[in-house]
Structure 1
Amino acid sequence: MGFRTGISERQRRFGEELRRVRDVAGLSALEIGEALGVKGPNISHTEAGRLGLNSERLNAWLDICKVTDPEYRAGLIAMSESTGKGWWTEFKHDVIPRALDLAEVEASATALDSYETLLIPGLLQTRAYSEVMQGYNERKVEFRQQRQRILTGENAPPFRAVIHEAALHMMYGGPTVMRDQLNHLIEMSRLPNVTIQVLPFDCTAYASNDTPFMVARGSHTRLHTVLLEHPHGSTFVGDPESVAAFDQKFDRIRGLALPPLSVSTPAPSTTYRDSMGLIQHIRYKVQGG
């Protein structure tokens, strides 16, 4: 089998997990290779995602490393056997590989947690808002629209979003686009699996809330993935320590944010502040008072 010319995030993460369990077991690549009947360099290539691993050798690898958790093993087997193909495949010439990886990660996630600072989360954007963000590239806009179907499809995963108030004031596309976008947030909050909160400007505590990120929860806690946004692109992070740190960060930001949007629960008093009230206030200003 030849080396892969393009390594997807799933393939990279699969190799990373194999290396991690080997390290925990205190075994070298040479020792694993001898046990599996393959050359040591092939083990390194497998851990780098350049080579795949059949089910027989994968199970042998996990047995040698004494990995007994059935859910974790099942998750690794699913990653190994996946073809990586889905609705996103038809967009492989239209979007960057990282976008394809994100769609695949979202498709297999059991839950999604998103924090955004200056933008509305992609899964909650209207088409008009997405058009502005994507430079009116129709294929990229359609790709984002397709991603959003995960929130309304069968077995839709829970999606929790915290949006900084700054994103609600950015007039991307003009007042009409933003008014419709704010209305869309309210409508999306009606979905039973969607929870939306706003982190207000007047929050007095700092929770390291300056970097957008999303936590995609896998079939096992050891298979969670963090998508970290930064000025030079995006990075997927999967080591347990980093995932745990972002888990804690998200929980802290949620705790500092206003109570979630709710169209069915009236405010208990005129002085009560929640995400719905803030969005309605901003929408009123956008509409010109």
Structure 2
Amino acid sequence: MSGTRRPPQARDRMLGLHLRQHRVERGLTLEAAAEQACMSSATMSRTESGKRHVTAEDVAALLALYRVAPERRTQLVSAARGGYRPIWWTERAPGWPPDILGVCTANAHAVTEFALNAIPHVLQTRRYGLGHLRACAAADLDAAWAAREELRGARELLEQTFFLHESALQTPYGGPGAFGEQLHHLRVATERGIGVRLVRAGVPLGSLNHGWAMMEYPDSPPMVYVELQEGGLFLHEPAIGGYRADLARLREVACTIQETRAHFARLAAHI
């Protein structure tokens, strides 16, 4: 399990989570599993944390060690095949983590998000968030909200910046009262040091026609996540080049944090 490797991707972080779960279910410590797999404990740790690009051979060997059922083994080995891909699709399907985004966020040091149609998930208050989930026809509101809370927790200690398009403030999900609470929460977030910057309607945005989140890592290249209805796209180099340009554009045209805070106050005053 050595040799030249590509940088880790979203699928490596997802596979690492599953490998750890199967090791724990087998009752093996990380050190014991590493010894039996002829790996160092450090390499095993990086594999499970998604900090290392893992091959199909790595996955197959570890799953055999953990005596995982053939059907499940085939599923995970298939996910590991294909080598490095600049675009990786993940769907919401039984047997996979409900929020791979949270797993990918865990090892990031900074997250930048552009929101176009609604307040970003991790900044939502409960009443506004449940209203948004109802509008999105979420099948299980409690589970969907719990996933957003989990993502919020994963990001809590990270450097976070949000570029919030004015159109995201047009729909008062949850009703006027819930929207007023949400605006107050956003103002408090800016006072706590979270970077929230408004992008006014009418500002030319070019290719900025959907929301996305960029995660930056201390030891590997960044990745971008684009949420879709039935899953999401994780983008890696070189596919994130356009998003780098979009981010530079946002930094130029967005309101300052102080201007953004004042805008939230004006909106709240008219509710």
Please indicate the TM-score interval, normalised by the length of the shorter structure: 0.5 to 0.7
Q: Which residue of 2 aligns with 1:227?
A: 225
Q: Contact between 1:168 and 1:282, CA under 8 Å: does it hold in 2?
A: no
Q: Contact between 1:209 and 1:253, CA under 8 Å: does it hold in 2?
A: no
Q: TM-score, normalised by structure 1?
A: 0.59
SS at match of 1:241: coil
Residue by residue, what CA displacement relative to the aligned partner does 1:144-195 show, whole Å, maximum 9, x if unpaired? 122212344xxx1110000111111212111111111111111111223x20
Matched, 1:108 2:104: no
Query: Structure 2 CA distance, aligned partners of 1:259 and 1:130?
Result: 25
SS at match of 1:134: helix
Query: Structure 2 CA distance, aligned partners of 1:202 and 1:127?
Result: 30
Count of equivalent residues: 199
Q: Contact between 2:162 and 2:197, CA under 8 Å: does it hold in 1?
A: yes
Q: Which residue of 2 aligns with 1:185?
A: 186
Q: Which residue of 2 aligns with 1:275?
A: 260
> Which residue identity does 2:208 align to in structure 1?
N
Whose Rg is larger? 1
Report the identity percentage.
18
Q: Which residue of 2 aligns with 1:243?
A: 240
SS at match of 2:252: helix
1:1-289 matches, within 5 Å, as 9-11=10-12, 55=39, 78=52, 97=96, 99-135=98-134, 137-152=141-156, 156-192=157-193, 194-203=194-203, 205-222=204-221, 224-230=222-228, 233-238=231-236, 240-260=237-257, 262=258, 274-285=259-270, 287=271
Q: Contact between 1:55 and 1:77, CA under 8 Å: does it hold in 2?
A: no
**Unpaired stretches in structure 1, ≥5 consecutive residues:** 1-7, 16-52, 60-71, 84-92, 263-273
**Unpaired stretches in structure 2, ≥5 consecutive residues:** 1-8, 17-36, 63-91, 135-139
Q: TM-score, normalised by structure 2?
A: 0.63
1:76 Cα deviation from its structure 2 partner: 6.9
Structure 1 residues 187, 232: CA separation in 2 closer, same or farther (over 3 Å shift)? same
> Which residue identity does 2:246 align to in structure 1?
K
Query: Structure 2 CA distance, aligned partners of 1:54 and 1:243?
Result: 36
Query: Structure 2 CA distance, aligned partners of 1:120 and 1:217?
Result: 21
Structure 1 residues 146, 207: CA separation in 2 closer, same or farther (over 3 Å shift)? same
Query: Structure 1 CA distance, aligned partners of 2:95 and 2:254?
Result: 33
Query: Structure 2 CA distance, aligned partners of 1:249 and 1:170?
Result: 25
